Structures are given as C-alpha cells and as structure tokens.
Amino acid sequence: MATEAISVRIPTRGASHDLRAIKVVLHREMLRFVNDRTRMASMLLQPVLWLFVMGTGLGSLVRGSIPGVDYRTFMYPGMISMTVIMTGMFSAGSIVWDREFGFLREMLVAPVARGAIVVGKCLGGALVATAQGVIILAMAGLVGVPYSPALIVTLLAEMFLAAFTVTAFGVMLAARMKNMQTFFGLMQMAIMPMMFLSGAMFPLANLPSWLHVLTTVNPMTYAVDPMREAVFAHLDVPPQVNAVLNPGVHWFDFHVPVPLELGLVATLGLLLLGIGIAQFRRAE
C-alpha cells in the first residue's frame, strides 16, 4: 500500500513576519509592566525620594542664591530621567532572565530576523519607561512646574527618545550575559555615573574643569538638558537664576542647541541598537 507524502510548509522569513515579531515582543513587555505592580512601585520610589526628600533638603541650603525658584523644580527633569533610565535598563535585563529560563532560545529559533526581536525589545522597553515616567510627569504641579500641554508633549517625546537609547544600551549589555547577578552589577556600575554626571542633581554652570569634561562626554547629559530647557522655557525665572540653573551644555564657547542634543541621543540610540542586533546574531 503506497503511503501518501505529507507536505510540510516552513514559514518564510519576510517583513510581515518581522513586524509581527516586533509587535509580539513589544506586547509582551507591556504585559509584564502592567502585571508587575511591585516593579512599578520600586522603580518610582527612588526618584520620588530624591525629588521630595533630597530636593527639599538641598533647596533649604541654596534658597538664598536662587530666589523665586524651588530647587525641586530644578531637579524635576533629572528625576524624570532617573525614572526612564532605571526602567529602561530593567526592561533590557529581562533578556538575561529569558535566557536563564530558556524562553530566549525559543524566540531565537523562530522564523524571524533576530534584529526584529531586538527592535521589539527596545521599543517595548522605551514605551514601558515612558509610561513609568508619566507618573512622575503627573507630579509636576507639586514642584512648581505648570501643566502646559506643549510642555507635556515635549517631555513625553524626549522621555521616549532617552528611554529608547537607554534600553538599547541595556540590550547591548545583556545580549551575551548568562546570569542576572552579572547584569545587575554591571547595570549599577553604569547607571550611577551616568546619573550623577548628567546634571540631573546639580547645575552645569561654574563646574571645575575636570567635572565639566566628564559631564560633557556623558551621553545622558544630552537627554537631561533638553528636558530642563523645556521646563525652564515655561517658567518665569529671573535671568541671573536661569543662567545658574539652566546654562545648557557648552563645547568650549559653543552652546549646544537642543536639536543637536536630541540628534546626538537619537544617533547613539541607533548605533547601540545596531550593536545589539549584531550581538544577537552571534548569540547561541
């Protein structure tokens, strides 16, 4: 008796499959965020403590030198950045978690480009970090920042750009790591210098030359400064106070404009994304 051959069709890789893979990975990141309330609370705790506890304490020391401005208003853009950085890096760290439990291998053998998985992870992490930042954004009125629609839209766009770049950086780090302990140790080593040298907690004016150089070469400075520029553009601040708290970033005598700063952040994000994709193509 002749046996009838059964044809097996293997899905071909294509743009539609890659777009669907991006959507699936992005959706999975959003579900993780929504279902993990403990993570949401813990990611908010540190920025809120810095803003309302440290900001109030430091503000009492410098109140006389910045008349008419609450120091927490100055720190507000930095705390948005801190929320975005921490959330984006933790989202990227889920790659290591997936590798430990075998889920990442299942994604890598799927008939989609590995680059699609990385893009989905970065977009998902950026959306999650931006959503987390919205909670800090809602606290604007508590620190003297107006609820201006133009300001909110501007900050949301800048938050997403910063979140995408930070998530791409985290994905690049996590691409070849085998355990969470190594990743979180490296993450802490990367996050703290980036935050402290970004001008998130102290003004960039009148810094010692060595500290000025470090803040200038820190990529996160170019994510924090546009947010601060946007906030101070909607405040009625005396010119001398604005010059101290919102001096901008300078390359020697050149004042770096906000569009160039955002362009640098976007370029870095795309570069890190490309490196992350290359890392994944070489992984297992």
More confident residue, 58 or 7: 58
**Residue 35 Cα to chain centre, angstroms:** 21
More confident residue, 247 or 33: 247
In a domain, 97, yes or no: yes
**% of the chain with per-residue pLDDT over 90:** 31
Most confident among 15-29, 51-65, 162-176 (mean pLDDT): 162-176
Burial class (CB in 10 A: 0-12, 13-18, 19+), 36: middle
When pLDDT is cut at 50, 70 and 90, the band that residue 69 belongs to is confident
In a domain, 247, yes or no: yes
In a domain, 13, yes or no: no
In a domain, 250, yes or no: yes
| pLDDT value at 119 more than 80 | yes
* DSSP H helical ranges for 101-142: 103-108, 114-137
pLDDT attached to residue 217: 94
| pLDDT value at 10 more than 60 | no
Most confident among 128-142, 151-165, 175-189 (mean pLDDT): 151-165
CB 167, CB 129: distance < 8 Å: yes
Range of the domain at 263: 20-282
In a domain, 1, yes or no: no
Most confident among 26-30, 106-110, 163-167 (mean pLDDT): 163-167
For the chain, what is the total number of helices (H) and then of strands (E)?
A: 12, 2
CB 55, CB 77: distance < 8 Å: no
pLDDT attached to residue 114: 75
Looking at the structure of the chain, the number of domains it has is 1
Q: Nearest-CA neighbor of 229 among 252, 251, 256?
A: 256
pLDDT attached to residue 14: 63
For 51-68, the pLDDT digits (tens) are 888 888 888 887 777 777
**% of the chain with per-residue pLDDT over 70:** 89
In a domain, 5, yes or no: no
In a domain, 15, yes or no: no
Rounded mean pLDDT of the chain?
83
More confident residue, 192 or 159: 159
In a domain, 275, yes or no: yes
For 231-269, the pLDDT digits (tens) are 999 998 888 888 889 999 999 889 999 999 999 999 999
CB 251, CB 85: distance < 8 Å: no
Extract the tokens encoding 4.
């009838």
The rounded distance, in Å, linking the Cα atoms of 236 and 69 is 9
pLDDT attached to residue 18: 74
When pLDDT is cut at 50, 70 and 90, the band that residue 100 belongs to is low
